[in-house]
């Protein structure tokens, strides 16, 4: 794995930690404050952007990550944000991203 890919993975891990800080404030705050929703959306977008910058060769070696889904979520958030349900975004933030971070820890 090249150094650029390792940096992008490190970016994802740092963003996942940032996201955990937002979600630790709870679902109620997420549901009630638009700024919280927007912050979480943006961090997930940045994670998807970092994922898209990882080479296809490196992505192929990390088989337990749904790279296409992750990158697709970023595209959806950036271009069709009005179609994302809050419940889906919450699951991505509290389940999918922490699992992603766990799967990437050994590659940074």
**For a pLDDT cut of 70, what percent of the chain falls above it?**
98
pLDDT digits (tens, 9 = 90+) for 14-40: 999 999 999 998 999 999 999 999 999
> What digits encode the pLDDT tens for the residues 48-88?
999 999 999 999 999 999 999 999 888 888 887 677 788 88
Query: What's the predicted TM-score (pTM) here?
Result: 0.90
How many whole angstroms separate alpha carbon 100 and alpha carbon 17? 11
Give the C-alpha distances (Å, rounded to integers) separating 63 from 33, 98, 103, 104, 107: 36, 16, 9, 10, 12
More confident site: 12 or 73 = 12
Helix (H) or strand (E) holding 49: helix 34-53
């Amino acid at each position: 794995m090249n150094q650029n890919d390792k940096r992008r993975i490190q970016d994802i891990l740092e963003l996942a930690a940032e996201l955990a800080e937002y979600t630790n404030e709870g679902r109620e705050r997420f549901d009630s404050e638009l700024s919280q929703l927007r912050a979480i959306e943006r961090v997930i977008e940045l994670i998807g952007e970092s994922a898209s910058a990882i080479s296809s060769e490196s992505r192929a070696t990390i088989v337990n990550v749904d790279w296409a889904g992750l990158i697709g979520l970023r595209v959806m958030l950036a271009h069709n944000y009005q179609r994302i349900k809050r419940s889906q975004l919450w699951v991505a933030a509290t389940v999918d991203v922490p699992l992603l971070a766990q799967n990437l820890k050994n590659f940074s």
